[in-house]
A = this chain, B = another copy of it.
Amino acid sequence: MARAATTSDVFNAIAEPQRRQILVLLRSGERPVTELARELGMTQPGASKHLRVLREVGLVRDRKAGKQRLYGLDARGLRPVHEWTGGFERFWSGSFDRLDAYVQDLKQERQEE
């Protein structure tokens, strides 16, 4: 088997640097495909392909606007990623002054995926 399809998993979708750049750009508002392509220095088909992946995992939504198609951010799908990484926060934030909570959380962690 090869790598899991990017199309089915947000973690995979944001593994691509250019797709992350697209998401960052979309934070400041909707944009048509061509403008995204121009701002990121990629071809129009390239932008369309990345946008398709992002759409299929639900991170962007598209809206017809006359001849153009405006892509907008729907970042809710990033929340699980934020929370998953947040589960490791105690390992980089300060020292282990919160060791109590750490030890008490162990049981729960065993059950997370």
Question: Hey, which bits of chain A sit against chain B, CB under 8 A?
Answer: 3-4, 6, 9, 11-12, 14-17, 20-21, 23-24, 27-28, 73-76, 78-79, 81-82, 84-89, 91-92, 106, 109-110, 112-113
Contacts and interface: CB of A to CB of B under 8 A. Distances in A.
Contacts of A73: 88, 91
A63 to B, nearest CB: 16
Contact of A15 (B11, B74, B75, B76): B11
Contact of A88 (B3, B23, B87): B23
Given A12-B15, A20-B11, A92 B106 contact: no
A110 B21 CA distance: 10
A76 B85 CA distance: 10
Given A78-B92, A88-B23, A14 B16 contact: no
Contacts of A87: 24, 27
Contacts of A79: 85, 89, 92
A112 B91 CA distance: 25
